[in-house]
Amino acid sequence: MTKNNVSRVVVVTGASSGIGKEIAKFFASQGDKVYGLARSSFEEENVKSISCDVTIKESVRLAIKEVITKENHIDILINNAGCGVSGSVENTELDDIKNMFNVNFFGAVNITQEVLPFMRENGGGKIFNTSSVASVIPIPFQSFYSATKSSLDIYAKALRLEVKPFKIEVCNVLVGDTKSNFTSSRKKARGDEGSVYEETVRRSVEKMEKDEKNGKDPVSVAKTMFKLSLKRKLPPTKTVGGMYKLIVFLNKILPQKFMLFVVSKLYS
């Protein structure tokens, strides 16, 4: 998409596969200049690949420096890089928990901190965070993943208030079950094998994986973000998909005890 005959510059993290890949491809197909950041370089038509580990500040600094050197500005940042670990709270290893927070939360913080000065100098910009319905409705045996997304949501809402004077908009996009390689790449806590949680974890994860494999096409997320990107003002939160909008709405009006009971029945 162009504005005043000038293409927007878009940076997407986690752009080598899954939802991030579809976001990068769709924005590029609409005429935006898209830079896709991922740990390993990749090839995608009309998307410029930059190797970047979002958990390493120097890697982030060099990646953003490369974009600014070529384009002199960044209009849109999409924090999409993420990873998951399934398993019980009791048996999930601390290193796996820390790694997930480093990617899902601190990775977004690292990129955002690096991009904000350039957006401010350019007179504004838009920041999107790929979040999850699990940020508002916690999923058993995905406790720490839910926690990373919940942390991201609160952080982004506070950030929105801080950067409003500089015409920088921030929006969390809540995604439900979506077909992507995220399902196969999700790590499983080894400590649950042979534990009191083993059978419940197995059933819960099987249900979760089935729902994801039969979930929405990731292109739907890309289209939602693109439509939002054309708006002058962004909502603080946007949920993708009618069913998930209903779930999030019901979670606001129904007793938490009842909602947790329903979730427990779905994943037990």
Task: Show which residues are catalytic.
Answer: 16, 131, 145, 149
The identity of residue 135, as a single letter, is S
Sign of dihedral through CA atoms 76, 219, 155, 162?
positive
CA atoms within 13 A on the CB side of 22: 17
The Cα 142–Cα 155 span in angstroms is 20
Residue with tokens 């070529």: 70
Distance of CA 18 to the CA centre of its chain: 11
Instruction: Identify which of 81, 6, 26 has the alpha carbon closest to the alpha carbon of residue 50.
Output: 81
Q: Distance (Å, rounded) from C-alpha 268 to C-alpha 262?
A: 10
Instruction: Tell me the residue type at 147.
Output: A
The rounded distance, in Å, linking the Cα atoms of 151 and 222 is 23
**Eight-state DSSP code of residue 192:** G
Of the candidates 79, 82, 78, the residue with the CA atom closest to the CA atom of residue 100: 82
